[in-house]
């Protein structure tokens, strides 16, 4: 079941770069500053940050693609999804930008996302079964 998680993370990472930019225009740095800080920032992201980023990016991607959610409601819902994973929008966007500029970081996020998904599946409670007798 690694393939669906890998695909979901890839799609989410591609969308993550633009998903929350509208939420934080005042925090955007000039393009030159972003390009020079992305590689050093990639070194400072913990595995937990990257796992949270992957979960948030997947959730944001699902919200973005959900046609039952009005466009006006998508940004606040995506912001809430990011914050629910313990990330602020600035950090989320920093990771997204760094992952787009650094193929190794992108690969690291995908690997961590697969490991995280497998761990979550292993610890998820089994579906309830009907044990009642007639």
Does any domain span residue 85?
A: yes
Q: What does the radius of gyration of the chain's CA atoms come to, in whole angstroms?
A: 17
Does any domain span residue 39?
A: yes
Does any domain span residue 92?
A: yes
- At 4-44, the pLDDT tens digits run 555 555 556 555 554 555 454 444 444 444 444 444 555 68
Q: How far is CA 118 from CA 9, 40, 56, 99, 112, in A?
A: 14, 29, 16, 22, 10
Does any domain span residue 134?
A: no
Does any domain span residue 133?
A: no
Find the domain containing 85 and state its range.
Answer: 2-19+34-122
Q: Domain count of the chain?
A: 1
pTM of the predicted model, to two decimals?
A: 0.69
Does any domain span residue 27?
A: no
């Amino acid at each position: 079941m690694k393939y669906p998680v890998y695909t979901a993370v890839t799609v989410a990472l591609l969308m993550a770069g633009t998903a929350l930019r509208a939420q934080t225009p005042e925090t955007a740095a000039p393009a030159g500053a972003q390009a020079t800080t992305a590689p050093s920032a990639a070194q400072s992201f913990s595995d937990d940050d990257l796992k949270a980023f992957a979960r948030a990016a997947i959730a944001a991607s699902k919200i973005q693609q959900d046609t039952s959610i009005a466009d006006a409601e998508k940004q606040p819902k995506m912001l809430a999804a990011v914050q629910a994973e313990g990330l602020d929008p600035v950090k989320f966007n920093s990771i997204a930008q760094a992952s787009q500029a650094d193929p190794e970081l992108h690969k690291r996020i995908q690997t961590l996302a697969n490991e995280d998904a497998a761990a979550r599946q292993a610890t998820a409670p089994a579906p309830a079964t009907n044990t009642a007798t007639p």
